[in-house]
Each structure stands twice: as structure tokens, then as C-alpha cells.
Amino acid sequence: MSDTTLPLFEVFVRAKRGLSHVHVGSIHAPDATMAVRNARDLYTRRQEGVSIWVVAASDIVASSPDEKDSFFDPAGDKIYRHPTFYTVPEGLEYL
Amino acid sequence: MYGNDFVDPNDPGAGPLNAADGGAVEAAAAHVDRRSEIDLSDFDAIIAADQRVEPRDVMPEEYRQTLIRQIAQHAHSEIIGMQPEGNWITRAPSLRRKAILIAKVQDEAGHGLYLYSAAETLGIDRAELLDRLHNGKQKYSSIFNYPTLTWADIGAIGWLVDGAAIMNQVPLCRCSYGPYARAMIRTCKEESFHQRQGFELLWDLVRGTEAQKAMAQDAVNRWWWPALAMFGPRDTGEHATGGHTAQSMAWGIKRFSNDDLRQRFVDMTVPQAERIGITIPDPKLSWNAERNHYDFGEIDWDEFWRVLKGDGACNAQRMARRVASHEQGAWVRDAAAAYAAKQAARQQAAAGEGSAA
């Protein structure tokens, strides 16, 4: 018998049409096709989804939490990107 | 379903598990020392602010190990928990009950997989987790070492065991570790069906023949105390110093003491029993108007530790079945992996030809 762990896939489910896929967890499977089938059995037993994506966990590239300050800093001093930054006369609507 | 997280402090195999186990003072000192080595300011800030810790965040090693052990034990409990109920699938008294039971047992498998998935985010491999279950290094909830002798046991398990599990798991939805909390949210949404189907099953029986009513009562007699024991050893008042409740609470893993959860469970369950004419097998059970809670008798802790250490009615049977299932399923995993490898090789070959042409 072999005790090697099958590849890991991250699972994303679209709960209903009009919503984006959301990460729900992971699953081990020998290949992507089996991962989709098994993810259906594991994550959508109660009609929680209308569509499933699986992505090999090893293929995911992520930002590092170690550099989260410096990485996201550039957005920190640009408050003029938010509408609340601007002053407008009182009493106006739809602005 | 799931019993609370606890270990036998006398079991050398369990080892020191976190800062509150065994040499609490030394471990606490080590924890403080380590702060100068690793920058924990982020972690502490996250915990202090009651935020979630995510997989790639810096976290103290004790926190990581505590979570691996707790989530793994929780996952193992779900998987082993399939056995006592699976025992009755072929003998369910109607197609309706059989469909319900199959769905419930499948849910338990699903809960186990959500949890293994969460544990793996802490950097431990699935195969390693299963190895630790199979070689006894990690435990599962003792409740599953009791036998399911009659059909009514399926009702008692759903009502009492899953009821206790819900009581334990709801606070875990706010656990400081994000993936565990999310797995618990998913699990809790499914547990309600488990408890209700069990209660309904018992309710059907108590409205049946005298023999059926007696069977329901007998099942509750046998499952009541093990269900109370699922909350783990006493950990308030004079018992507060042992165990690792305090550390787990400080880390936001655990939100309420074992004793508090047990009291809530009793308070919630007694009126349900009265409603369907089931007697709780505890002569000391009585409403205490002063405390605004039910008083209840003491759990047989000798039995609790005995079963946890392996001397329950079904410990050996459960583990043998688990290991056999794993070994007998190996050819399926091997075949699927071989097929995937073959397909991948063919695709690669085809891609090679394409580029050559």
C-alpha cells in the first residue's frame, strides 16, 4: 500500500449565479477532475453551490504576510482616492 | 460530532502539549522567553483585538502545536464517529430512516475532512495525521468507544451526543484560528439536522409500544453520562489549575470552560427530556432556583479516564476497523494516482509532439 498524500487542491464555490467564487477549503485528489467531483461531495451536499473551481494548492502565488505593511503601504497615504476626502456645499443630493 | 478537547495528563505518549499542561510555570516562562526571539507583537495584537490568526501569520509554536493536536483530535473523532452509527445503516427500520442515517454518517465524514483541511493549513501533512491516529499518538473522543446496542441508540446519539457536540462547537466558530473557526461554522450548520433527527427518532419511539418506549429510555440511560463526559474534565473552581483551559482561553481557542458548557447542556436538555417523557438517569438532578440552573450528579471520572486510556467497550474494535478501512482503500488511492500519472504523461507527450511539429 502507498501512504503518499495525494495532491492538495484549494476549492472555490459560487453559491449562486451573480456571486463570485469564494474559497471554502481544500481537498486531496489524484487529479483536478477527481478534485472537482470530490469537492462536490464534500462542499455542496446541501446545494451550497452552482459552480466549483479547484486550483492546485502548489500553483497559488500569494503575497507574504511578513511584508504586509510595506506591501500595502502605498495605498495608505492616498486618502484622496475616497469620496469622503472631498468637501462639497451642504444640502446637495446625489453627490 | 465531537467531545471537548482534553488529554490524559498521565499518558506519557501525549507529551507536554502547551503552556498549561504539566509544568505550567516553566512552560509559561519559556513562552515569555521566546518573545525576545520572535516578533510576536502581531500575534498578540491579533489575539488582543479578538481578530483571526491566518495560516501564514507568525504564531507561537505552542499555539500551532495546540491547534494541530486539537483540530486533529476533532477530525479523528468525526471519522471514528462514523462507526457506531454506521453500525445501524443496514438495520434502519424504514427507508426514510436509512436515508437520514446515511446522510448523517456522510456528514460526519465531511466534518472530518473540513477539519483535516484546517489542520493542514498549520503545516502538517494529511498522511501524518492519519498515521498519528492509527498508531495511537493522537486520540479521538471517548464517546465513540461506547457500543450502539439498539436502534434507539441512534436517537440518543443524535440528541445527546450531537447536542453536546453543538454546545462545544458553537463557541469554536469564534476560535482565534481562522481556518478552524470557518470549518466549525460549516460544521455547526449541519449539526442541527443531526440533533433534531435523533430527537425525532426518540420521540417516535416513546409514542410507540411499551417495548419501544423502554428501548428509548434504556438508550438515554446509557448515553446520558458519556455525553456529559464529552465536555471534558472539570476545570472551574478547585479544578481550574489542571488541564489547559486557561491557556486555550487566553489564546482565544477556547471560549468557555468545560464546566460552563456542561451546565448549559444540562439546562438545555432536561426540559427536552421532560417534554417527551424521558427520564434523565440522575437522581441528583434538580432545579436550583437560587443558581437558576439545574444541579446534577458527579460524572464517574474513573470510568472517563479508563475509557480514554483504551479500556472502553469498543476502543480496539474502532481502531481495528479504522486501520482496516484505510488499508483496504489503498488500492483505490493507488489506482487513482496511477491513472492521474498516466493521463499527465500522455498530455505531456502530446504537447511534446505538438511543439515538434
Chain A nearest-CA residue for B117: A26
The predicted complex's ipTM stands at 0.86
Could you say which of B103, B334, B344 has the minimum Cβ distance to residue A2? B334
- Is pLDDT above 90 for B291? yes
| A65 occurs within a structural domain | yes
User: What local confidence, expressed as pLDDT, does residue B13 receive?
Assistant: 41
Please provide the average confidence, as pLDDT, over all residues in chain B. 87
pLDDT tens per residue, range B167-208? 999 999 999 999 999 999 999 988 889 999 999 999 999 999
User: Left, alpha or beta for A18 (phi > 0: left; psi -120 to 50: alpha)?
Assistant: left
Query: What's the burial of B323, exposed, middle or buried (CB within 10 Å: 0-12/13-18/19+)?
Result: middle
Q: What is the CATH number of the domain that holds A27?
A: 3.10.20.520
* Position B271 confidence tier, pLDDT thresholds 50, 70, 90: very high
Set of cell numbers at residue B244: 489547559
| A28 occurs within a structural domain | yes
User: What local confidence, expressed as pLDDT, does residue B50 receive?
Assistant: 83
| A26 occurs within a structural domain | yes
Whole domain around residue A74: which residue ranges?
8-81
| A86 occurs within a structural domain | no
| A94 occurs within a structural domain | no
Q: Is A57 an 8 Å CB contact of chain B?
A: no
| A39 occurs within a structural domain | yes
- DSSP letter at A18 equals T
pTM score: 0.85
Contacts of B323 in chain A (CB under 8 A): none
| A14 occurs within a structural domain | yes
- Secondary structure of chain B in HEC code, one letter for each residue: CCCCCCCCCCCCCCCCCCCCCCCHHHHHHHHHHHHHHCCCHHHHHHHHCCCCECCCCCCCHHHHHHHHHHHHHHHHHHHHCHHHHHCCHHHCCCHHHHHHHHHHHHHHHHHHHHHHHHHHCCCCCHHHHHHHHHCCCCCCCHHHHCCCCCCHHHHHHHHHHHHHHHHHHHHHCCCCEHHHHHHHHHHHHHHHHHHHHHHHHHHHHHCCCHHHHHHHHHHHHHHHHHHHHCCCCCCCHHHCCCCCHHHHHHCCCCCCCHHHHHHHHHHHHHHHHHHCCCCCCCCCCEEECCCCEEECCCCCHHHHHHHHHHHCCCHHHHHHHHHHHHHHCHHHHHHHHHHHHHHHHHHHHHHHHHHHC
Contact A42 B113 (CB under 8 A): yes
pLDDT tens per residue, range B103-147? 999 999 999 999 999 999 999 999 999 999 999 999 999 999 999
Q: How far apart are the first and last CA of chain A?
A: 68
Q: Is B334 an 8 Å CB contact of chain A?
A: yes
DSSP-based three-state secondary structure for A13? strand
Check if the beta carbon of residue B314 is closer than 8 Å to that of residue B147: yes
Contact A31 B344 (CB under 8 A): yes
- Is pLDDT above 60 for A4? yes
pLDDT tens per residue, range A8-59? 999 999 999 999 999 999 999 999 999 999 999 999 999 999 999 999 999 9
Q: Is B327 an 8 Å CB contact of chain A?
A: yes
Smallest CA–CA separation between A30 and chain B, in Å?
5
The domain tally of chain A equals: 1
| A46 occurs within a structural domain | yes
